[in-house]
């Protein structure tokens, strides 16, 4: 998952620093400084900076240095960027963006899944719906979270659309963040669990409209809860 080696470690310092606004737009990073500050060689600095360049977070220019680009240019779909932003200052904004994205994508994915899911997908969904019910009743937030992530991941995968499928980690990050920062009720709402069961059932019986509707209720609810809970 992570980038390997020293460039990866340097990236894990620079990325969050830029994402959090600690190094604001226009800041100039000079290679030599980075070498000394982090005690690494030119090679390492260059590779880390190249990766940031490929994420459009910085722009190296000769004679002037590597400048931090405006936030609007960043590759906001890059998993690393998402993670850095979730960890930093604009976590709220990132969560809201992701919430809207979920509202757009997950109902569509559920509808597609009701059409395309294979038998394995359906079995897995049913099993996860049961697990969700059980762990919710037991108020086992940790297991609930794990199964919730798995549930949404299966729906996204079963949609048969590779781009939807790749949002699974992103959705997982949102769900995790929500639980970690106590934006969740102390025990999952029975209504939400019921909706998950309904999604599973609709996908298993091949009912796209119902799957889409139930999923939309879930993600809209999550977004509203987010809006109500988040600061500013």
Partner DNA sequence: GAAACACAATCGTCATACTTTTGGGTGTCC
Partner DNA sequence: GGACACCCAAAAGTATGACGATTGTGTTTC
Angstrom CA distances, 18 to 40, 58, 118, 121, 191, stand at 19, 9, 43, 40, 40
Q: Which does 79 bind (CB under 5 to 8 A by kind): DNA, a second copy, none?
A: a second copy
Question: What are the counts of helices (DSSP H) followed by strands (DSSP E) for the chain?
Answer: 11, 3
Cα distance between residue 156 and residue 112, in whole Å: 9
Question: Which position among 64, 93, 104, 163 is part of the footprint of DNA (CB under 7 A)?
Answer: 64
* Binding to a second copy in span 114-143, by CB under 8 A: none
Judged by CB, which is closer to a second copy: 30, or 50?
50
Which one of residues 63, 119, 142, 162 is an interface residue with DNA (CB under 7 A)? Answer: 63
Closest separation in Å from C-beta 35 to DNA: 7
Residue 75 lies near a second copy (rule: CB under 8 A): yes
Neighbours of 60 (CB within 10 A): 15
> Does residue 51 bind a second copy (CB under 8 A)?
yes
Residue 7 near residue 44, CB atoms below 8 Å: yes
Residue 163 touching a second copy (CB under 8 A): yes
Instruction: Tell me if 36 contacts DNA by CB under 7 A.
Output: no
Tell which one of 18, 45, 95, 109 touches a second copy (CB under 8 A).
Answer: 109
Q: Does 93 bind a second copy (CB under 8 A)?
A: yes
Q: Are 152 and 168 within 8 A, CB to CB? A: yes
Q: Are 164 and 109 in contact (CB under 8 A)?
A: yes
Stretch that binds DNA, among 35-43, 75-83, 123-131, 207-215 (CB under 7 A): 35-43
Q: Are strands 58-61 and 65-68 parallel, antiparallel or unpaired?
A: antiparallel
Our finding on whether 72 is near a second copy (CB under 8 A) is yes
Sheet holding 58-61, edge to edge: 28-29, 65-68, 58-61
Binding site for DNA (CB under 7 A): 4-7, 29-32, 39-44, 46-47, 49, 60-66
């Amino acid at each position: 998952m992570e980038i390997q080696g020293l460039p990866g470690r340097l990236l894990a310092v620079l990325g969050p620093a830029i994402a959090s606004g600690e190094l604001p737009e226009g800041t100039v990073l000079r290679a030599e400084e980075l070498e000394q500050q982090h005690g690494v060689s030119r090679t390492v600095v260059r590779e880390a900076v190249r990766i940031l360049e490929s994420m459009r977070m910085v722009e190296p220019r000769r004679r002037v240095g590597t400048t931090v680009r405006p936030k609007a240019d960043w590759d906001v779909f890059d998993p690393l960027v998402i993670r850095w932003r979730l960890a930093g200052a604009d976590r709220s904004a990132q969560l809201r963006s992701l919430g809207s994205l979920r509202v757009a994508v997950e109902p569509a994915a559920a509808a597609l899944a009701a059409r395309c899911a294979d038998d394995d997908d359906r079995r897995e969904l049913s099993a996860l719906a049961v697990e969700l019910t059980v762990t919710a009743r037991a108020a086992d937030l940790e297991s609930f979270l794990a199964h919730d992530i798995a549930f949404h991941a299966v729906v996204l995968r079963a949609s048969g659309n590779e781009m939807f499928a790749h949002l699974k980690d992103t959705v997982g990050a949102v769900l995790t963040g929500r639980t970690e920062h106590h934006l969740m009720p102390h025990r999952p709402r029975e209504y939400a669990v019921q909706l998950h069961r309904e999604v599973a059932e609709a996908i298993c019986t091949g009912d796209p409209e119902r799957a889409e509707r139930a999923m939309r209720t879930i993600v809209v609810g999550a977004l509203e809860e987010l809006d109500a809970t988040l600061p500013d």
